[in-house]
Amino acid sequence: MSALALLMYASCSNPINNSGDWKAKADSLQAKLNQFEQNQQEINTYLTRFDSLDFDFYSHQQWDSLQLSHASNIVVTYPDGHQTTGIPTHISELKPMFVFAPDTRIVSHPIKFGSGKYTCVVGVMEGTFSQPMPGSGGKSIPPTGKKFKLQMCTVGEWKDGKMIAETLFWDNAALMKQIMP
């Protein structure tokens, strides 16, 4: 709404002088407003798609549905800086969380916004360390039964209705502090 108010103010800033330009200014402002509204509609579509991605596809491990929101060659950057390319590799990075915490789920998106081709969504992830966690050397860490609640953030870059790049942030140390004895 503030963008509309700014456009209206700008259109009225010089009402008498150059009255012949009045129509051209109004047309120009209308075109800018139309573009702004189209961009906002696109961002809202991406954010709605992202809600489905986290609340439905991730939380319920509906991996085949990732193709609805992710480009086939998506590049994903993880908190430790490593990257994967493609949906199958991304899925293989997501699955291990469900091995030791099969009830892992995203419960809310308290912050979400976008601009241009980017969206930013903060999610709250919850789960329980209820199954053995695979460790190094074929060993495993026994479950503690402890629950966790972790904030995470996803910055997505979109093209043609799908995410082409995804950067993920969460604090692994905070997770381990919550679930370990």
Give the start-to-end residue ranges of the domains of the chain: 26-179
DSSP code, position 2: H
Beta strand residue intervals within the chain, DSSP E? 70-77, 83-85, 105-115, 118-128, 133-134, 140-141, 147-159, 162-170
d(CA 157, CA 108): 21
CB atoms under 10 Å from CB of 157, counted, come to 16
Q: What is the CATH number assigned to the segment(s) 26-179?
A: 3.10.450.50
pLDDT tens for the chain, residues 1 to 181: 555 555 556 555 555 556 668 988 988 889 888 888 999 999 999 999 999 999 999 999 999 999 999 999 999 999 999 999 999 999 999 999 999 999 999 999 999 999 999 999 999 999 999 999 998 898 999 999 999 999 999 999 999 999 999 999 999 999 999 999 8
**Quick check: pTM over 0.85?**
no
> Is the Cα torsion angle 141, 142, 144, 146 positive or negative in sign?
positive
